[in-house]
DNA sequence: ACACTCGGGACGCCCCGTTACT
DNA sequence: AGTAACGGGGCGTCCCGAGTGT
């Protein structure tokens, strides 16, 4: 109640609830929402149904909580924060890609991909509650990049004719697509290649990068 | 080329099997593999379990067949064929994007996204058989673009210093990511933006490195 | 001794579980394991699948529990206890046979035979878990008789040259065979005849090798 | 039609039907009637449902045919014929036991036991058609022995005061019980022990075996 | 007559997310 | 927060007929 997370219910120190969320995130990340049974989650957490239904009204609510209290913070901590720490937006985009690739090289991550992207693809078409929550994360991500680009425009680093929103959308979508591709290929190389291309694209947004007037 | 798939039995006139595949594709496209119950598939097709299990040994095999005999042909027909019909690879990439966007504007497609991408994200981490089959589709797609780029290099259109494989990977990944993004947003605009950026990126592959036309 | 079985969980007051076991025993006794559907068991017990799978992990486990917690106690109570109460082993064998015949004359028993023998024949070749559990019951039965005979030898009643183990094996096997025969014939007479012969055989184990009284 | 088998329909040379019966016998012998799926039988025989249902109206009829055309001949050939070839009935009983033990020592037989006994226990309480057919086999077996004993009485070898029918019942039941016991124990020793006891019992039926008048 | 492909559903066991009571 | 019970639904198997061809 004191340290409120912006998005949802204020959660103080509730170890059981946290454990549930951790395990649930793990499972849903690895296998998706549908393939994650409550049974497995309970077994893995050493808790019982009573505990789960005490904290969450249903599996769906648990899923929502996973998105809000695990996926969102993760995205913020892992990608948005590093992005904000670099002033040059193009470099910041690179930083973000580097961060993702580092993550991808950790054991087990390549097989599981990106928790956000996984849920987006599996759940967006199935459940509106999921869709909205995931959309807001994507939007936050996108707008963070867009803001950076706009700041760059203001500072004269970024081409004022470029469209920061469109570019940010593209960068997010491409990175997600790249992770998905790498996950399917079980290989980091595709991601690395994509990252290079994203950087190349981002570089074209620079002021000096557009020497010729467009047709 | 139209009737027989290389990998499995060349089916002659088997309307039941086809109907099953059609419906299964539909459901798995719309809701994903896990959320598609055999019951629904059966009900929608007007057939019974006997019919299904006569043609497919399990739900998994049905899923595999959907990938091989529906998703693969669809990708070939819809994206690879148009790509091959254009000689300029950069234009061909644009053509591919246009084709995807057209598709996305059709009723109901926006909500469902891309059948290939959906299954890739949902199943790659869960089942190896799915992963392999989907990977081979992605690879075919990727290599088709790469071949186009290499041909462009031979013809002096494409920058000989560029890496066709990496570029092709990026293009595919970005397009998939873009569709996924649009699906979540329930909006074609993000896809359109991404398409423009992909085109811009592709244009940088040109020999003269022509500047990107804004979307 | 009455409530807890040594091998599995000592169940306190679990009426549901007991009811399930009772009904399952009934069905498996009457129709065998394979022909006993969970549906029937559930219907007969007035419970639901949830209850069943709360207590037993599978039909197989239910079957095992039936053997351990119903068949075994039944054999102990009905045949081994009476056997132990008679000091003369030959008379005790007769007592055991009498007890079985009494049982066989009860309504419905003739058609169903011996629960132990039924399961032995149906399941020994199919499932190792069943086989082992049933074997341990048979062994307990056999060794109880063998002990009685050995005691008889020590007391000078039983021929010291006879082989108590072999004799006990024979007695058990013959009684089981006799019940099986009677069950197929739907007639107690065969069992009665066999019982007489078993007694005759047992009498030959006496020291004086008293001649057999005809049935 | 020319070479009629006594029990059922006159079957000439029908290879398909024979193959089906062979395989069905095999499966039902090994796993019992219920656990033998038509699917397995068909797969093992390389035939299809069409063939099966052309020759047999149902699984039940197939089962009946197995009993009549496989189990019955087997019992006759293996046990009754040897019995008939020995004139001394006591020796003939021994012969029969020897024959069974030989059989039991063959690879795979110990695990499967006696086809007749298996079906008797599994099916007698479930299906009247099975029960009757199996009963008639048991009765033939029993009466064969009884006839031998009566012949022995006529020849002055067998105690005229003994009851050939009861003795025969006992012998058959004991042997079946012994095979069942051995099957469960996965060990021939119990059978051997029983066989010895059966012989001992049979010996008491001899004229000279009863020196003392019964009480 | 004989055998095969195809299709039908009822039923198999099991698991699911959930609720009720303690 | 935990145990017990719920009951609908999961996929797969069962035995069986229909239709076809040979």
Give per-residue pLDDT as tens, C52-110: 999 999 999 999 999 999 999 999 999 999 898 988 999 999 999 999 999 999 999 99
> Least CB-CB distance to D204: which of C166, C184, C212?
C212
C-proximal residues of D, 170-199, CB under 8 Å: 170, 172-178, 180-181, 183-186, 190, 193-194, 196-198
Alpha-carbon gap: C57 to the closest alpha carbon of chain D (Å): 21
The label of the residue with tokens 């004191």 reads A2
Taking the CA of residue A43 and the C1' sugar atom of nucleotide F2, their distance in angstroms comes to 14
Taking the CA of residue A17 and the C1' sugar atom of nucleotide E20, their distance in angstroms comes to 22
**pLDDT at position A14, please?**
84
**Mutation for D interface: C181, C193, C195, most D CBs within 10 A:** C181
Strand partners, A158: A206
Contact by Cβ (8 Å): D192, D97: no
* Residue environment code for D164-182, b if the CB has 16+ CB neighbours within 10 A, otherwise e: bbbbbbbbbbbbbbbbbbb
C-proximal residues of D, 47-106, CB under 8 Å: none
> Least CB-CB distance to C177: which of D34, D174, D184?
D174
Alpha-carbon gap: C14 to the closest alpha carbon of chain D (Å): 31
Task: List the single protein residue with the shortest CA to C1' distance from E8.
Answer: B50
- State the chains in contact with C (3 or more Cβ–Cβ pairs under 8 Å): D
Contact by Cβ (8 Å): A162, B213: no
**pLDDT at position A13, please?**
56
Nucleotides of F under 7 A from a protein CB: 1-19
The label of the residue with tokens 């648990």 reads A62
Question: Nearest residue on chain A to B182, judged by CA atoms?
Answer: A173
Give the mean model confidence (pLDDT) for residues B81-97: 93
Close Cβ partners of B111 (under 8 Å, ≥ 6 residues apart): A125, B30, B183, B186
Contact by Cβ (8 Å): C158, C89: yes
Shortest-distance nucleotide from D54 CA to C1' = E2
Give per-residue pLDDT as tens, B162-191: 999 999 999 999 999 999 999 999 999 999
User: Both tokens of residue B102?
Assistant: 């057209």
> Considering only CB atoms, which chain C residues are within 8 Å of D125?
30-32, 111-113, 118, 183
Query: Can you tell me whether residue C193 is helix, strand or coil?
Result: helix
A and C touch per CB criterion (3+ pairs under 8 A): no
**pLDDT at position C13, please?**
52
Shortest-distance nucleotide from D53 CA to C1' = F16
Q: Which of residues 23-82 of C touch strand E (CB under 7 A)?
A: 36-40, 49-50, 53, 57-60
Task: List the single protein residue with the shortest CA to C1' distance from F8.
Answer: C49
> Considering only CB atoms, which chain A residues are within 8 Å of B126?
31-32, 35
Q: How many CA atoms are closer than 13 Å to the CA of D210, on its beta-carbon side?
A: 19
Low-confidence ranges of chain D (pLDDT < 70): 1-13, 208-215
Close Cβ partners of C97 (under 8 Å, ≥ 6 residues apart): C175, C195, C198, C199
In chain A, the N- to C-terminal Cα span, in Å, equals 57
User: Both tokens of residue B88?
Assistant: 């300029």
* CB-based contact D184 C131, cutoff 8 Å: yes
**pLDDT at position C14, please?**
86
A79 Cα distance to chain centroid: 7
Taking the CA of residue C120 and the C1' sugar atom of nucleotide E12, their distance in angstroms comes to 23
Contact by Cβ (8 Å): B101, B146: no
The label of the residue with tokens 């005061």 reads D161
**Is D47's CB less than 7 Å from nucleic acid strand E?**
yes
**pLDDT at position D110, please?**
95
Phi and psi at residue A158, to the nearest 5°: -100, 140
**Is C105's CB less than 7 Å from nucleic acid strand E?**
no
Taking the CA of residue B41 and the C1' sugar atom of nucleotide F10, their distance in angstroms comes to 13
Taking the CA of residue D141 and the C1' sugar atom of nucleotide F11, their distance in angstroms comes to 47
**pLDDT at position C207, please?**
87
**Is C203's CB less than 7 Å from nucleic acid strand E?**
no
In this complex, is the C-beta atom of C4 within 8 Å of any C-beta atom belonging to chain D?
no
Confidence of residue B149 (pLDDT cuts 50, 70, 90): very high
> Least CB-CB distance to B125: which of A112, A176, A204?
A112
CA distance B19 to B47: 9
**pLDDT at position D84, please?**
87
Low-confidence ranges of chain A (pLDDT < 50): 1-12, 209-215
Which of B120, B141, B130 is CA-nearest to residue A183?
B120
**pLDDT at position D10, please?**
42
Query: Can you tell me whether residue D174 is helix, strand or coil?
Result: helix
**Is D16's CB less than 7 Å from nucleic acid strand E?**
yes
In this complex, is the C-beta atom of A132 within 8 Å of any C-beta atom belonging to chain B?
no
> Considering only CB atoms, which chain A residues are within 8 Å of B186?
131
Give per-residue pLDDT as tens, C2-13: 333 333 334 445
CA distance B124 to C133: 43
Alpha-carbon gap: D118 to the closest alpha carbon of chain C (Å): 6
CA distance B65 to C7: 48
**pLDDT at position C106, please?**
96
**Mutation for B interface: A134, A176, A177, A179, most B CBs within 10 A:** A177
Asked whether the CA dihedral A139, A141, A144, A145 is positive or negative, the reply is negative
D-proximal residues of C, 196-215, CB under 8 Å: 196-198, 200-201, 204, 210-215
Res. B12: pLDDT tops 60: no
In this complex, is the C-beta atom of A43 within 8 Å of any C-beta atom belonging to chain B?
no
Give per-residue pLDDT as tens, D73-109: 999 999 999 888 888 999 999 999 999 999 999 999 9
- Quote helix, strand, coil % in chain B, to nearest 5: 70, 0, 25
C31 Cα distance to chain centroid: 17
Please indicate whether residue B54 or residue A215 has the higher confidence score (pLDDT).
Answer: B54
**pLDDT at position A86, please?**
87
Please indicate whether residue B147 or residue D211 has the higher confidence score (pLDDT).
Answer: B147
User: Both tokens of residue D137?
Assistant: 């086999």
**pLDDT at position A208, please?**
66
The label of the residue with tokens 């979307």 reads B215
Q: What angle do CA D207, D213, D215 make, to 5 degrees?
A: 135
Res. C208: pLDDT tops 60: yes
User: Both tokens of residue A83?
Assistant: 């992005």
**Is B58's CB less than 7 Å from nucleic acid strand E?**
no
> Considering only CB atoms, which chain C residues are within 8 Å of D59?
none
> Considering only CB atoms, which chain A residues are within 8 Å of B197?
166-167, 170, 174, 201
Give the mean model confidence (pLDDT) for residues C114-139: 96
Please indicate whether residue B210 or residue B109 has the higher confidence score (pLDDT).
Answer: B109
* CB-based contact A200 B204, cutoff 8 Å: yes
Contact by Cβ (8 Å): A106, A113: no
> Least CB-CB distance to A126: which of B31, B204, B215?
B31
Burial of D78 (0-12, 13-18, 19+ CB in 10 A): middle
**Is A38's CB less than 7 Å from nucleic acid strand E?**
yes
């Amino acid at each position: 109640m004191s340290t409120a997370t912006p998005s949802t219910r204020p959660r103080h120190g509730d170890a059981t609830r946290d454990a549930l969320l951790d395990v649930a995130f793990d499972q849903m990340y690895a296998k998706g929402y549908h393939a994650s049974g409550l049974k497995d989650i309970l077994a893995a957490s050493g808790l019982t149904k009573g505990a789960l239904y005490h904290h969450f009204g249903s599996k769906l609510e648990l899923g929502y909580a996973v998105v809000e209290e695990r996926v969102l913070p993760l995205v913020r901590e892992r990608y948005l924060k590093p992005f904000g720490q670099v002033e040059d937006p193009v470099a910041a985009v690179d930083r973000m890609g580097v961060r993702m690739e580092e993550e991808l090289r950790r054991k087990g991550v390549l097989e599981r991909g990106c928790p956000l992207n996984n849920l987006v693809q599996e759940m967006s078409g199935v459940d509106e509650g999921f869709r909205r929550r995931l959309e807001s994360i994507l939007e936050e991500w996108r707008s963070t990049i867009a803001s950076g680009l706009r700041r760059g425009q203001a500072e004269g680093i970024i081409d004022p004719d470029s469209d920061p929103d469109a570019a940010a959308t593209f960068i997010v979508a491409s990175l997600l697509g790249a992770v998905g591709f790498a996950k399917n290929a079980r290989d980091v190389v595709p991601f690395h290649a994509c990252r290079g291309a994203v950087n190349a694209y981002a570089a074209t947004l620079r002021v000096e990068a557009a020497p010729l007037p467009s047709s």
